[in-house]
Structures are given as C-alpha cells and as structure tokens.
Structure 1
Amino acid sequence: MRLDVSTDAHGPLFDGRAQRLANAYVDHLERTLAEEGRTILLAELDRVLKTQTPYYTTRIKVENGRAITDSRVAYGPWLAGIGSRNYPVTRFKGYDHWIKTRHRLNERKRGIGERLLRRYTGRM
C-alpha cells in the first residue's frame, strides 16, 4: 500500500506577512513606549523643578525611536543625583525623575502593548 500526501501552504504565516507585521508591531511598540516615557519624564520634571527654565526640558528627546535622552546636557547628571557635585559634596541629592519614569512606564507597558497588539493580530 502506498500513501501520497501533499499540502498547500499559503497564508500570512507562509508568505512572510506575519513576520513583517510582528516586526512592525515591535517597532511601533518601542516608539510608543519611548514617547510615553518622555511624557512621564516631563511630568515628573514639572512636579519637582521649582524654577522652570525651558532649556533642560526642551532637550529631552526620543532618539532612534526607542531611547529617551536629555541630549547630554551638562547638568543632567546633577539633576538626576548621579553627578560628582551631588551629596556629600553638596546638600543636593538630586531628583529621582528618571527612576520614577522607569517605574511608571513599567507599570503601563503591558496595557500599551496589549492595546497595540490588537491592531496587528487580526491581520496575521
């Protein structure tokens, strides 16, 4: 007895559409999380800075679609509390705006990711 089996593989998993959509999802998620983190960081700075000057806040940007940076402003490490001029050299211990931003973004990332994923799974 002889048995021949043939299959026909077609659809998003086989023609590369699912892979392209998965890559697009990851890119979109990284950009969205970075922008959300920038928004959180600016809100934290607004909360802790007593004297608002726009120089530092206008330098906070999302680079390469995934990294939040203060564009290497000279006094950025001092504000964050990791500079050489912070406590014990001076009384100023710095603000925890970067740390709080990381924690708040980590709390929100799952919901953001799930909302975005719904847009992509229907097309996969």
Structure 2
Amino acid sequence: MRLDVSSRASGPIFDGRAQRVANAYVNRLERQLADEGRSILLEELDRVLKTQTPFYATRIKVEDGNKITDSRVVYGPWLAGIGSRNYPVTKFKGYDHWYVTRDRLNARKQGIGERLLRRYTGRM
C-alpha cells in the first residue's frame, strides 16, 4: 500500500501578511501606551506641583515612539526624588509622579491593547 500526501499552505499566516499586521499592531500599541503615559504624567504634575511653570511640562515628550522622557531637564531627577540633592541633603524627598504614572498606565494597558487589537485582527 502506498499513500501520497501533499498539502498547500496559503493565506495571511503563510504569506507574511499576518506578521506585518502583528508588527504594525505592536508598534501602534507602544506609541499609544507612550502617549497615554505622557497624558497621565502631565496630570500627575498638575496634582503635585504647587506652582506650575510651563518649562518642565513642555519638555515631557515621547521619543522613539515608545519612551516618555523629560528631555533630561537638569532638575528632573530632583523633582522625582532621585537626585543627589534630595533628602538627606535637603528636606525635599521628591514627588511620586513617575511612579504613579507607571502604576496608572499598567492598570490601563490591557484595556488599551484589547481595544486596539480589534482593529487589527480582521487583517490577519
């Protein structure tokens, strides 16, 4: 007895379309999470800073599509409480705006990812 089996693979998984859509999804998700994190960070700055000056807030940007940065403002580490001039050198221990931003963004990321994924699954 002899059995010959042949198969043919076609479709988005086999021709690379699914991979391209998945990569586009990941890139878009990273950017959307960074934008959301930037918004949260600006809200947190409004909460913690008693006297608002626009300089620091205007330096908060999303770089490389997925990184939130304060553009290396010289007093940024001091505001965050990780600078060399924080406690015990001075009484100021810093604000928690970066930590709160991280926690709030972590709480929201699954919902953001699921909502965004709906736009991409039809193309896979």
Length-normalised TM-score, structure 2: 0.98
Aligned equivalent of 2:62: 62
Q: What corresponds to 1:40 in structure 2?
A: 40
Shift of residue 90 of structure 1?
0.8
Q: Does 1:52 align with 2:52?
A: yes
Which consecutive residues of structure 1, in runs of 5 or more, have no partner in the other structure?
Answer: none
Amino acid across the alignment from 2:41: L
Q: Structure 2: which amino acid aligns with 1:52?
A: Q
Deviations 1:8-64 (A, max 9, x none): 211000100000011101000000000000000000001111111000000000000
Who is 2:117 aligned against? 117
The percentage of counterpart residues that share the same residue type is 81
Tell me, what secondary structure is at the counterpart of 2:62? Answer: strand
After the TM superposition, list the runs of 4 or more consecutive aligned residues in structure 1 that deviate by more than 3 angstroms: none
What secondary structure sits across from 2:10 in the alignment? coil
Equivalent residue for 2:26?
A: 26
The code of the aligned residue for 1:104 comes to: R
| Superposed displacement of residue 3, structure 1 | 1.4
Q: Tell me how many residue pairs correspond in the alignment.
A: 124
Normalised to the residue count of structure 1, the TM-score between the two structures is 0.98
Q: RMSD over aligned Cα, in angstroms?
A: 0.6
Measure, in 2, the Cα distance between the counterparts of 1:78 and 1:7.
64
2:98 aligns with 98
Greater shift in the superposed pair: 100-109 or 113-122: 113-122
For 1:119, the aligned partner's letter is R
Report the CA distance between 1:103 and its aligned residue.
0.2
